[in-house]
Amino acid sequence: MNDIKADAFVDITDVVCPTTFAKAKVAMARLSEGQILEIRMKAGEPLQNVPRSFKEEGAQVIKVIENEDGTYTAFIKKAG
């Protein structure tokens, strides 16, 4: 069901809060306005906090998909 094309991918399942957002933010910083970052994250705290933190920076969540291994993939569009 996913037809979104991301411009970059980052996996933050290997880090813990507060590094989760920091790692994703670094990846987002390399993109230009309007480009899409694909982020793989764990359920719970990262899913609660990372998309919301991007929202606070003006980015928009385009799609969130639950993966078969219990992680989530979020597509987030950079502000602009």
Partner 1 sequence: MGVDLQQLKKGGLLKQVQKEFFSLRLHIVGGQLTFNQLQMIAQVSKDFGNGEIHLTARQGVEIPFIKLQDFETIKNKLAQVGLEPGACGPRVRTVTACQGCKICPNGLIETKEFSKKIDEKFFGRDLKCKFKISISGCLNNCLKAEENDLGIKGCMEPEWLQANCIFCGLCEAICPVDAIKINYENRDVIFNPQKCIKCGRCVTSCSSDAWKGREGYLLLFGGRNGNVITRGKQVVPVIYKEEKVLSVIEHTLKFIADYGNNEERFADILQRVGNSQLQKYLKEVLESE
Which of these segments, 7-15, 22-30, 32-40, 44-52, binds partner 1 (CB under 8 A)?
44-52
**51 touching partner 1, by CB under 8 A:** yes
From residue 31, give the alpha-carbon distance in Å to each of 59, 65, 77. 12, 21, 10
At 43, give phi and psi (nearest 5°).
-70, 175
Where do we find the tokens 């003006």?
58
CB of residue 56 to partner 1, shortest distance in Å: 7
Q: Does 31 bind partner 1 (CB under 8 A)?
A: no
Contact residues toward partner 1 (CB under 8 A) are: 1, 43, 47-48, 51-56, 59-66, 72, 74
